[in-house]
Amino acid sequence: DQQVKQNSPSLSVQEGRISILNCDYTNSMFDYFLWYKKYPAEGPTFLISISSIKDKNEDGRFTVFLNKSAKHLSLHIVPSQPGDSAVYFCAAGGNQGGKLIFGQGTELSVKP
């Protein structure tokens, strides 16, 4: 199932700089997108979401951008902190009831 793809398995960023995580999707019927953060031995923790009627949503250091024409979303973390080091999943849903389709995840490492 390749409907949601995160092409970068890992990303390394210096503390204080911007982290940009990317996600692409193929199903144009998706209308709700989410980012989750996951630490080892824990479940995914909801970070931020965006509806397809918007192109940007911001919550503190986290901003999600949605480009519907390109079927692309990104998560910006500014400034990045060592505690942000985790695996980040994008997920999409909306056209299939509550079912979420997840990407493969990107492991972010923020170095002090």
Question: What residue ranges bind other proteins (CB under 8 A)?
Answer: 1, 31-32, 34, 36, 41-46, 49, 51, 89, 91, 93-94, 96-105
Rounded distance, CA 73 to CA 70, Å?
A: 9
Which CB, 5 or 79, lies closer to other proteins? 5
Rounded Cα distance between 73 and 14, Å, is 22
Determine the Cα–Cα distance for residues 68 and 48; give it in Å rounded to an integer: 17
Work out how close the CB of 31 gets to other proteins at its nearest, in angstroms, rounded to a whole number. Answer: 8
Measured from the CB atom, the residue of 13 and 105 that comes closer to other proteins is 105
At closest approach, how far in Å is the CB of 88 from other proteins?
12
CB of 87 to other proteins, least distance (A): 10
Between 17 and 99, whose beta carbon lies closer to other proteins?
99
Instruction: HSE, CB side, 13 Å, CA atoms: give it for residue 96.
Output: 12
Are 86 and 73 contacting, i.e. CB atoms less than 8 angstroms apart? no
| Cβ nearer to other proteins, comparing 51 with 81 | 51
> Residue 111 class from Cβ within 10 Å (0-12 exposed, 13-18 middle, 19+ buried)?
exposed
Q: Find the shortest distance in angstroms from Cβ 48 to other proteins.
A: 9
